[in-house]
Amino acid sequence: MKISIEPTVAVENPEHPTPHTHLQRFGAATLAGAIFIIDTLTSIHIAIAVLYVAVILMSVNLFSRKGVIGVSLSCFGLTLAAFFISHGSDFNSSAFARCLVSLSAIGITTLLALKNKAANDELQEQVRMLAQTHDAIIVRDMDGIITTWSPGAEALYGWSKAQAIGQDFRKLLRPQLTLTWEQMMNSLIETGRWEGEVVEHRRDGTPVTVVSRCSLSRDESNQPKAVLATHNDITEQKRAINALRRSEAFLAGAQWLSQTGSIGLKIPSGEMYWSDEARRIFEFGDDEEPLLSNVLKKTHPDDLDLVKVSIKHAYQKEPHIKVEYRLLMTDGRIKHVQMLAHPVQDATGNFEYIGALMDVTDAKLSEEALHRSQTELAHVTRITTLGELAASIAHEVNQPLAAVTTNGTAGLRWLNREVPDIDEVRSAMERMMSETHRASEVIRRIRAMSRKTDPQSVPVDLMEVIEESLALVDREVRRNKIVLDHQYDTEVAQIIGDRVQLQQVIINLIMNGVQAMSNTKGKHRTLHLHLRRSDAGELCVDVKDNGPGISPQSMPKLFNAFYTTKPDGMGMGLSICRSIIDAHGGRIWATSEAGEGAAFHLSFPSSNEEPA
């Protein structure tokens, strides 16, 4: 008699019986009782007790290992009991032989059942463990029909187990592979395994990207029997990777457009990272590694100490690092770069400086060109101002020259007397020297105003600048019958700056006030000039006239280039003034009330505060 036992995966746990299990156990007990009655009462000469193997096979899925052994022993007992009841102690009869055959069948079946149960219990445990995972576990036959559908598959795809089992896998999930279905199956049959990304569809039609890991199961004749697949949802990961890739592409494009590269420096290891744009800015080859030594090799010799100090600050874990320096390329070209960096710290306490490296060469060249243009324009404006003051300048020069002539004539008369009056001659000569010095000062101031030189940053007495400016415009003020009211509320008025440029600003503001009051009638024309120190310690200069004032519409555009309120103005005076004051780290602004005149205000940091 051949007994074949196929492994079965039970969904019920024998240690925690369900009502269905109780019903099956009752059925097994009823069958065992029926076999016992038939075996005891029947006169059929066959091994009825062999039917107990059916009870043992039923018990495999209904009881634990101990329970199966108990059922087997019970079947042994019932077989022997039926023999003794029916045949007594007749051990030489054919009935006893049939009893031994039945007992052997029960024993063999029990051993096979226990072996099968051990494998079955292990498989059940694996299934229970797999069922607890979030991955979808799907078993399908070679025709693609689903035979197993785990809770993970229910959660992922939306179909219940009852809805999915028996369905064609391809029609239900509509998988989309990078290769054909036939190619995938051929690879699976050849190697026994296949893994890849598949786009499938949920019950509501939304696509889901999974990593599918397929394993081929074969029968006893080594023929493909089923495919076990685990599907891991990577939709969000793929979406994140694709966000990331787009961001990297956008970042690379933005870095290329803005000529800004990314750099990283780990502290204290010194390990560096360069983005492609940073590598392009440094003009490093593909074989050059991100090393501090390579950065220093590209640094302009005159800026080497500056870069080394910044590196030192990084090792000292400074919160922010900003440095602007030059690179010297192999062909002699000079690049201007600016680096900004700040540290980040990971969970282990390691520091890494993340920074941006910007090629500011074009901006530097443009800034220098703009500076040269502003300097040229300021010089032209000064020449124009001198042209407007030509009459005053001529008067300022003629006065001392006329005085020199008068004193020279008087001195000669005193010498031509019969008894020369030496004291009078000495006095005349002293007056001549004084007037000569006065004329020389006028010429010096004119030459300074007309000189074309680069701006200087030196200590300057603002009070002296104002006095020299007033001397140049004195005749224009008196010619226009303007009363000049100037007062100084501070004794120390030293700032860092360029004397000529500051004179240009003061003269421009005074001349604007003079011209604003040129048509004023019916009241005294007064120009107030006030040097003072603010509560914050800044030196301030106020120039105020009592002309018609500035309209509210003109006020926002007053310092814009080419904007003017004068019929014959160029609109560059106040714009240049603002550029000069900004370069000195100061501020310039205007206030006005209709009919009450206009006031221009300057403020400068004192000499112990370097201009920006």
Cα separations (Å) of 589 from 132, 136, 517, 535, 579?
Answer: 75, 73, 20, 18, 12
Q: How confident is the model at residue 175 (pLDDT cuts 50, 70, 90)?
A: very high
Are 87 and 95 in contact, with CB atoms under 8 Å apart?
yes
CA 181 to chain centre: 43
Instruction: Select from 329, 355, 358, 331 the least CA-distant residue to 344.
Output: 355
Predicted confidence at residue 164, as pLDDT, reads 92
Q: What backbone torsions phi and psi does residue 231 show, to the nearest 5 degrees?
A: -115, 120
- pLDDT for 109-165, tens place per residue? 888 888 877 776 776 666 666 656 667 888 889 888 998 888 889 988 999 989 999
Residue for token pair 């009056």: 421
Predicted confidence at residue 259, as pLDDT, reads 65
DSSP annotation string for 268-291: TT--EEE-HHHHHHHT--TT----
Range ranked top by mean pLDDT from 93-97, 134-138, 382-386, 494-498: 494-498
- pLDDT for 244-271, tens place per residue? 666 655 555 555 656 678 788 888 888 8
Predicted confidence at residue 371, as pLDDT, reads 65
Tokens of 300: 């302009």
Euclidean distance between CA atoms 272 and 295, whole angstroms = 10
Predicted confidence at residue 242, as pLDDT, reads 65
Which residues are within 8 A (CB) of 422 and not within 5 positions of it... i.e. 6 or more apart?
Answer: 414
pLDDT at 391 over 50: yes
Residue predicted with more confidence, 528 or 350: 528
3-state secondary structure 532-601: EECCCCCEEEEEEECCCCCCCCCHHHCCCCCCCCCCCCCCCHHHHHHHHHHHCCCEEEEEECCCCCEEEE
Question: CA 113, 118, 123, 129: dihedral to nearest 10 degrees?
Answer: 140
Residue for token pair 């221009």: 600
pLDDT at 326 over 70: yes
For the chain, the maximum distance between any two Cα atoms, rounded to a whole number of angstroms, is 193
Q: Which DSSP category does 12 fall into?
A: S
- pLDDT for 230-243, tens place per residue? 888 888 887 777 67
Q: Which DSSP category does 167 fall into?
A: S
Predicted confidence at residue 267, as pLDDT, reads 84
pLDDT at 609 over 50: no
- Cα Rg of the chain (Å, integer): 53
Euclidean distance between CA atoms 27 and 21, whole angstroms = 10
DSSP annotation string for 427-477: HHHHHHHHHHHHHHHHHHHHHHHH-------EEEEHHHHHHHHHHHHHHHH
Euclidean distance between CA atoms 353 and 340, whole angstroms = 10
Report the SS3 class of residue 610: coil
Predicted confidence at residue 9, as pLDDT, reads 37
Which residues are within 8 A (CB) of 232 and not within 5 positions of it... i.e. 6 or more apart?
Answer: 135, 136, 210, 211, 213
Predicted confidence at residue 2, as pLDDT, reads 31
Tokens of 74: 């019970």
Predicted confidence at residue 15, as pLDDT, reads 56
